[in-house]
Amino acid sequence: MLFPLRYYGWGLAKPPYAAEFRGLLERWQQFTRNVIYGDYSVWMRSFNGAIVPPARDILKLEVPTAGDLGYQGVSMVGIGAWGYGGPTNYVYARQTWDHTIDVDATLDEWYQRAYGPGWRSMRELFEMVEARLVEWKRREKLDYFGYQYEVNYELIEFVHKPILADIERLYRAALAAAETDAQRQRIEMLGANLIQLHHDMRQAGMIADNEDSIFYRTEEQYQQFLAEQRNSIALDPALGRYPIWHGEWSG
């Protein structure tokens, strides 16, 4: 089983790694054809509700290449917080059955079926975060280092903070367009993460209090929110345990 450590945490968003990928898998087959490919490539440690969006270029590269080369299987690590990880996890689930699926069309299927009439707003939201995260990863050095998969203060400040108002605008638009309770509940699964992110960014001094935000909660309201979310699959299981940290997470 091949798990390339340097590709963890969106490493394949870095062009040199993406360029070498197929050759790497081919060379491993020179040793044995009895090999499975696996990776934490789209997983990142995000304990504070910060969105980790679908990494479309990575999803189009990894499993399809392994399938084309005849790898015996894949073992891909998805995202535990289904509030924002649902689209990524859905693509992985589909790819494990058919590595030739159209990733963009499969994501659109998720957005439409999950979010209803506001699906384009949700797609724009995810793609906006994706563009920022790709830019962040391409600025990183190539050498492996532990905090390459940390959604820490530095990453949130670069990726999420500059577009926080746009994220809220698109979220509000999608929620207003929802026609069924199921659609609203799916959208609010993402909103639960953004409530957490908004609170933790305020606690970290990254943003000021903004009571007009749909994500704002007083401390008392936030503690009630945490209690209500304890058994939810929308958020990371480490719900409320860690503040936004600098550098590499130490536990």
pLDDT tens per residue across span 39-52 = 999 999 999 999 99
**Contact of 92 with 198, CB cutoff 8 Å:** no
Mean pLDDT within 113-122: 98
Domain assignment of residue 241, yes or no: no
Q: Is residue 182 part of a domain?
A: yes
pLDDT (tens digit, 9 = 90+) per residue, 65-117? 999 999 999 999 999 999 999 999 999 999 999 999 999 999 999 999 999 99
11-50 pLDDT per residue, tens: 999 999 999 999 999 999 999 999 999 999 999 999 999 9
What residues contact residue 118 under an 8 Å CB cut-off, 6+ apart?
Answer: 173, 174, 175, 176, 177, 178, 183, 187
Q: Is residue 246 part of a domain?
A: no
Q: Residue 115: which domain range?
A: 5-228
- Give the chain's domain count: 1
CA distance 142 to 161: 25
Kindly state whether residue 242 falls inside one of the protein's structural domains. Answer: no
How far, in Å, are 30, 63, 248 from residue 132 at the CA level?
A: 37, 24, 20
Token pair 């699906």 is found at: 119
How far is Cα 11 from Cα 5, in angstroms, rounded to an integer?
9
% of the chain with per-residue pLDDT over 90:
96
The answer to whether residue 143 is domain-embedded is yes
* pLDDT the model gives residue 146: 84
- The verdict on residue 248 lying in a domain is no
Asked if residue 250 belongs to a domain, the reply is no
- Residue 250: pLDDT band with limits 50, 70, 90: confident
Is 236 exposed, middle or buried (CB count within 10 Å of its CB: 0-12, 13-18, 19+)?
buried
Going from the C-alpha of 239 to that of each of 197, 200, 203, 223, the distances in angstroms are 11, 11, 15, 11
Dist CA 147 CA 166 (whole Å): 27
Taking Cα atoms as reference points, which of 60, 65, 58 lies closest to residue 101? 60
pLDDT > 80? residue 251: no
What does the pLDDT average to over 132-144? 94
pLDDT for the residue numbered 147? 85
Q: What is the DSSP string of 22-80?
A: HHHHHHHTTT-S--EEEE-SS--B--S-------HHHHHHHHHHHHHTT-SEEEE---S
- Contacts for 75 with CB less than 8 Å, ≥ 6 apart: 1, 36, 37, 38
Name residue 155's amino acid: L
143 pLDDT above the threshold of 90: no
Q: Tell me, letter by letter, the H, E, C secondary structure of 133-198.
A: HHHHHHHCCCCCCHHHHECCHHHHHHHCHHHHHHHHHHHHHHHHHCCCHHHHHHHHHHHHHHHHHH
Beta-bridged to residue 73, according to DSSP, are 36
CA distance 174 to 193: 16
